[in-house]
Every structure is written in structure tokens, then in C-alpha cells.
Structure 1
């Protein structure tokens, strides 16, 4: 094959590769996020079957760190207290010795967020809890978070305010927001939300107080 012919084939191959990459990029962006569907107490095997996710197979070595490999929404499917979160890059389940899911920890975001965006996610989750019948507790020391100037000042000081929510005597949630500064961007204001969901650990609290 002559040199001009070889060059032409190289350009065609390069163009084909670029075209495939472009199509794949569009597909990834358009593809809906994965979804983890569960209630606390369900068998982990059942959770994997009813979810569209990268949750791993349960083994004796990974039951306390069953984490996703690709971003996913959490849909808590309890018929009374259900809610859903934005897509999470970090989401990990915990199973007991019998293989039942007893806790979930996630950060409902794909990256650390500016404060405006983080507060919108945080307040949106609290609103879902209220609508679903969750009740705040430990409110004397940790009332539900409100988007106020004082609250934002606390968050910027890295106080990490936390709200606590209870669904009857069945489930409890802690939800916090904290500052996150990386060594390569020390002056950037970025924030991380963490949601912990599981069985009650504080016991029944009279009048939602502690």
C-alpha cells in the first residue's frame, strides 16, 4: 500500500474512533442514573434483584461495605416512609449475619458542591422526610436545618450541623452537611452531605426531644 493510502486509512480509523467516543459520551449523559431500591430489613439478595445498580454479590468479607461502582439514586421503598435521593457517587449498604440490609450510608451528590447547591439538596431531603411522616428528634441540640445566614455561617466554619429524623419506632436518619477542602483547591468552598439510614439506635424519645 502506498504512503498516501496508508495515511488515508489512518485518518479513517481515527475518525471512526472519535465518532464512537462521541456516541458513547452522548449515551452516558442521556442514560438514566442507576437505582438502588430497598427498605431496611430486606434480604440483600432481594435488594440486588430489584435494583438497577452495580451492587456486588454478598460475601462474608464485604457485608459491611457493599458499595456501588457507578452513581445511583437511592429509592427507599417503604410504603409509608419512602423517599428518594439525588444520584450518589458514594452509596454503601451494610448487611447483618443473616444477609439482611440493616443500614445505608450515602452522599447524595456526584461531587462536592458549592454551598447554594448543597443547601438546596439538604433542604429538599428534609422536606421529603416531613411529607413522608418522618419526625425530627434530638431537636433541643440538633433542630432541623434551616437555610439562614447563621446556619450558613456555621457551615462555613465547618461546624457540620446535623438533623435527626425518626419514622415511628422503625427507622432513623441522621443528615449532616460539612465543609470539604482539598489540598489542591484550599480556597474553594465545597460541601459534602452525608445521610445515614438504619434501625433505631437512640431508642424511643418522648416528645421528640433529647
Structure 2
């Protein structure tokens, strides 16, 4: 083998090694990117705003100059409600507002979805959240008037034709309350489709049972 052939073989070997390294790097980056946990806001009602901000992986601005205000995460983020007994997790949200007073979080408003959804997709989120709340010990407030939402033809017909509210309240003792709404939403991006929007409001209890 002459010197020229030897150099060509070494060059080919180096190119092959570089291609292998490049391929492995691409695979690693792909899996790393796709396995990342979504950004989240981890909080509980009644804690300091700054404690929530430091704990959360989603970027959210510091408390403003006013003692009363709200902040919205800078990216889509899911809610991780971190109470040790009543905790739950939502899907990622685009609309997400954390309100505070004197530096203490007093309510959360959000829509646990990135965009208005088809009925089957929206009801799956609703049923999953209700299941999490039941298992954690949340109970319905005024269940006779505002029953839990179900995936039935009757409920779908009521919501689709806007015959009544898809509204329910869930309560954790005298500590927290959630109001959940599910309703038709006119989505200009999908004008010919039946789309739905879920909204959550979380705060200290404000709607009481009749017996209270």
C-alpha cells in the first residue's frame, strides 16, 4: 500500500467516525428535546408569590410594584397544585393568570389547553381532572345544582346547543375551591368545527353549600 492509499483510508475512517458521532448526537438531542417535561407553575393558594416563582420551571415575572396584581407565564405552562393532600396536575395552558395580594397568591385563572378543542378531547381533560379531584378528596359544592360533568349524549347535547351551563364546583374542606366551566367556543381557525373551551378558577371557597 502506498502513502496516498494509506492517507485515503485514514481519511475515510475519520469521515465515517465523524458521521457516526454526528448521528448519535442528533439522536441524543432529539430524545432529550422530546422527553423534556413541559414547563409548569407549581404553587398552592395562600403561599408567597416569590416562593411559587422560584419553584416553578416556567418563566414568570417577579411581583409588580403594586401590592395587588397578577402575572402570566411567558410560555405555555401546566399547573401543578402542590398541596400534599389535594394536589393535582393540569395539561399545559396558554391562558394562565396567577393573582396575588400583599405578596400572597389568592387565585388562579386558567384554561388547561393550548387551543379550543373538539368535544371528545375536551371532555377527556374534564373527566381526568374530576377523577384527580375525587381521588384527592375534593367534593362537589351544591352537587344537586352543579353536578359533576359526564360524557353522556345528554350532556353533549346540552353543551352543544348551549341549553345550560357546563359548570361545576369542587371544594377541599374550607381551604380551596375550584370552579370549572366547559362550553362551546367559536374558533375562527376552525369555523366549521364544534370546539370547546375549559376554564378553571381556583381560590379560597366563595360559593357555599346551602347547609353552611
TM-score normalised to the size of structure 1?
Answer: 0.80
Aligned to 1:7: none
**How far does residue 64 in structure 1 lie from its aligned partner after superposition?**
3.1
Deviates more, 1:126-135 or 1:61-70: 61-70
Whether 2:109 is the aligned partner of 1:88: answer: no
Matches within 5 A, 1:28-177: 29-60=34-65, 63-96=68-101, 98-158=102-162, 159-177=164-182
**How far does residue 63 in structure 1 lie from its aligned partner after superposition?**
4.7
CA shift in 2, pair 1:142/1:48, >3 Å: same
CA shift in 2, pair 1:187/1:61, >3 Å: farther
Local SS of the residue matching 1:64: strand
User: Over aligned residue pairs, what C-alpha RMSD do you find?
Assistant: 2.2
Local SS of the residue matching 1:103: strand
Kindly report structure 1 stretches of 4+ aligned residues shifted beyond 6 Å: none
Whether 2:195 is the aligned partner of 1:190: answer: yes
**How far does residue 30 in structure 1 lie from its aligned partner after superposition?**
4.6
**How far does residue 185 in structure 1 lie from its aligned partner after superposition?**
3.4
Local SS of the residue matching 1:47: helix
State how many pairs are aligned: 184
Q: Deviations over 1:110-129 (max 9, x none)?
A: 11111001000001100100
Aligned to 2:6: none
**How far does residue 181 in structure 1 lie from its aligned partner after superposition?**
1.1
- Distance (whole Å) between structure 2 residues aligned to residue 133 and residue 127 of structure 1: 10
Contact 1:94 1:104 in 2 (8 A): yes
CA shift in 2, pair 1:184/1:62, >3 Å: farther
Gap regions ≥5 residues in structure 1: 1-21
Q: Looking at CA atoms only, which structure, 1 or 2, has the larger radius of gyration?
A: 2
**How far does residue 202 in structure 1 lie from its aligned partner after superposition?**
2.2
Deviates more, 1:179-188 or 1:118-127: 179-188
Gap regions ≥5 residues in structure 2: 1-25
Local SS of the residue matching 1:88: coil
Q: Deviations over 1:141-166 (max 9, x none)?
A: 11111111000011111344111011
Aligned to 1:6: none
